[in-house]
Structure 1
Amino acid sequence: MNEIENKRISKFLSLILRHQPETIQLKLDENGWADVSELITKAAKGRMHFSFEDLEEVVETNNKKRFAFNEDKTMIRASQGHSIDIDLALKAIQPPDFLYHGTADSNISSIFEKGIEKRNRQHVHLSADKETATKVGMRHGKPVILTIRTKEMFDNGIPFYLSANGVWLTDFVDAKYISK
C-alpha cells in the first residue's frame, strides 16, 4: 500500500473510531473497541475499501500509534483522542515531574487566562518530550511549547493517565501549573 492510501485509511479510522462511528453504523463497546470484520464490511458499504492486511499495515506503521488491536486482532480501537464517550479503562499513574503541551502562539493568552481545557475531547493531551509537543503545536500555527508542572498537579490530587501510545492524559490543566 502506498503512503497516500495509508494516510487515507488512517484519517478514516480516526473519524470512525474517535468521533463518528455512526457514520457507517459501527458499534463501539464501552471501551471504544470495534469488531474488525464489522469495521471492514461496514466501511466497504460506505465506499471505503480496505483489507485486513491494509488495516494491519496502518496500525503497525502509524508513527503516532493512534490505533491498537486486541491480542488476537479481532478488535480495534483508537488509543486516545475521542470526542465520544468511551472508557479507555486507563489506570491513574504518577506522571514525570514535567510534561509539555504544544499549541499555537494565538492560543497563549487564553491558556494563561483559562488553563488548558479538553474542549470536545475526553482529555487534555500532554507530551513527555518537547519535540513531540512542537510537532503538535505546528499543526495549529506558530508553535509554542508550554511546560506543565505535573508533579505539583499530581501532589495536589489531580489524576494522570498514560495512553497505549504514550500520550499523557488529564482532565484539565489550571493556568497556575503552566509556564512558557
Structure 2
Amino acid sequence: MDNDSRSPENYVAVSRLLSKVLRHEPEMVGIRLDRQGWVSVDELIRAIERTARKAGASKRLRTLPAITRDVILAVVATNDKQRFSLSPDGLRIRAAQGHSIGVDLGYAAKEPPAVLYHGTAWSNWTHIAVEGLTAQTRHAVHLSTDADTATRVGTRHGPPLVLVVDAAQMHADGYAFTRSDNGVWLTLVVPAAYLSKWTPDKRGPSS
C-alpha cells in the first residue's frame, strides 16, 4: 500500500473503494454488513488491509494508501456528496444511500418538499415516460431538492435530462418518502404521472 495517504487523489481512491464495499460488494474484502448497513470501522480497516496483502489482490487494492482510522474519518468528512455516515460513537460506518444489496437503513418516513428533482440521461426518457422511475439495481429512487444537483447527476450518464417530481401529490396519494443522512430523498418508485421535464430557461417544470 502507498503510504502517502493524505493526498486528495488517495482520498478519492479510498472513497471509491468504500462506496463499492459499503454499497454493493462487502464480500470483496470479506466483511458482512449488519441489517442497517453498518460495519465496525476497525473491522473494515483490518479487512481491507488483509485483502490487499493476499496473493492476486487487484491493483486497486494493492495501490491503496495506508488505511487508518484518521484516513477513514478524513474521507467521510471531505466527501463532497457526504456518501458515508458514522455512528454517533464513531465506531461504525455505512453508506448513506445507494445500496444495491438488501439493507434496511432505518430512515423514518417524512413529508417531502412539494417538488423534487431527478437527473438522468435523455436516452432514458422513452422508457421513463411509460414506466416512471424505478430503483432498478439500487435500494430506492434518489431525488434531489434542487435542479442543479440533478443536472450534475444526469451529466454522468450523457446529455442530462432533469425531471420534476410532484412530491406533494405523491405524498398526498400515499407514497412514502425518507431522507438519507446526506439529504438525498428516497422513494421506491415514481410513477410517470407525477413526472414532468424541467426546462432551465423557465426554472420550472414543463410537460
> TM-score under structure 2 normalisation?
0.86
For 1:95, which of 109, 112, 130 is the aligned residue? Answer: 112
Aligned to 1:18: 23
What is the number of residues matched between the two proteins? 180
Cα displacement string for residues 12-50 of structure 1 (whole angstroms, at most 9, x for unaligned residues):
000110001011111111110001111000100121441
1:69 aligns to 2:69 (yes or no): no
CA distance in 1, matches of 2:120, 2:32: 33
Q: How do 1:14-163 residues align onto structure 2 when only pairs under 5 Å count? A: 14-47=19-52, 48=61, 49-163=66-180
Identity %, equivalent residues: 43
CA distance in 2, matches of 1:23, 1:133: 30
Aligned to 2:58: none
SS of residue matched to 2:158: coil
For structure 2, list consecutive stretches of 5 or more residues without a partner in the other structure: 1-5, 53-60, 198-207
Amino acid at match of 2:90: K
Amino acid at match of 2:8: E
- How far did 1:72 drift? 1.8
SS of residue matched to 1:169: strand
CA distance in 2, matches of 1:46, 1:142: 38
Q: Which consecutive aligned stretches of 4+ in structure 1 deviate over 4 angstroms post-superposition?
A: none
Cα displacement string for residues 116-156 of structure 1 (whole angstroms, at most 9, x for unaligned residues):
01001110000000111011001000011110000000000
1:6 aligns to 2:11 (yes or no): yes
> TM-score under structure 1 normalisation?
0.98
CA radius of gyration, larger in: 2
For 1:172, which of 182, 186, 189 is the aligned residue? Answer: 189
SS of residue matched to 1:26: coil
Cα displacement string for residues 40-70 of structure 1 (whole angstroms, at most 9, x for unaligned residues):
0010012144111110110000010000111
